[in-house]
Amino acid sequence: MVSLEELQSRFGEEIREKTFRDNRFIDVSSGVLLDVLSGLKADFGFSMLIDITAIDWLDYEGATDRFSVVYLLLNVETGERLTIRTAVNLPDPQLPSVCALWMSADWLEREVYDMFGISFSDHPDLRRILMPEEFAAFPLRKDYPLKGRGERHNFPVITRSEG
């Protein structure tokens, strides 16, 4: 198991750890995120990226940052899991892309961008993935209403002759 001291001595003292049930969370700042992830992959055997997701903390009691981006890692040989969290804020939520480390990050980062508007620098192809290209909002943000803002009614209707 990776100890917190090892991580702190290598990636800086501001790394924090938290455990809930059997999940281990490592909080890092967005500046060292890429170093931490590539270090964990190369030297600690976390070879598989299970998932990338984000959380919008708007109006969550006690939250200090607007978004968290979460990377779930797995060590395929030992089965050890680690959750790396980092905070991003408006007006320009941006993180470095990890596509160079894991090919699967491509679509996962596109989904986070599509749903939360968090962009990833150096991503090879950062486009919307689930929502239509012309969609203007980011639907999983907390300030986006459940029923939408009328986009559905204003969808262009393509007739057979035009299509």
SS3 20: strand
The answer to whether residue 146 forms part of the interface with another protein (CB under 8 A) is yes
The answer to whether residue 130 forms part of the interface with another protein (CB under 8 A) is yes
Question: Which residue in 16, 122, 125, 149 binds another protein (CB under 8 A)?
Answer: 125
Nearest C-alpha neighbor of 121 from the set 9, 18, 34: 34
Question: Which residue in 44, 102, 113, 120 binds another protein (CB under 8 A)?
Answer: 102
The answer to whether residue 48 forms part of the interface with another protein (CB under 8 A) is yes
State the burial class of residue 104 (Cβ atoms within 10 Å of its Cβ: 0-12, 13-18, 19+). middle
Question: Which residue in 40, 56, 71, 97 binds another protein (CB under 8 A)?
Answer: 56
How far apart (Å, rounded) are the C-alpha atoms in residues 65 and 62?
9
Nearer to another protein, 10 or 107 (CB): 107
Binding-site size for another protein (CB under 8 A) equals 42
Site for another protein in 76-95 (CB under 8 A): 76, 79, 81, 83
The answer to whether residue 137 forms part of the interface with another protein (CB under 8 A) is no
Nearer to another protein, 10 or 131 (CB): 131
The answer to whether residue 9 forms part of the interface with another protein (CB under 8 A) is no
Q: Which stretch binds another protein (CB under 8 A): 3-11, 30-38, 59-67, 90-98?
A: 59-67
DSSP per-residue codes, 52-97: EEEEE-TT-TT--SSEEEEEEEE-TTT--EEEEEEEE-SSS-EEE-
Q: Are 73 and 40 in contact (CB under 8 A)?
A: yes
Q: Are 69 and 88 in contact (CB under 8 A)?
A: yes
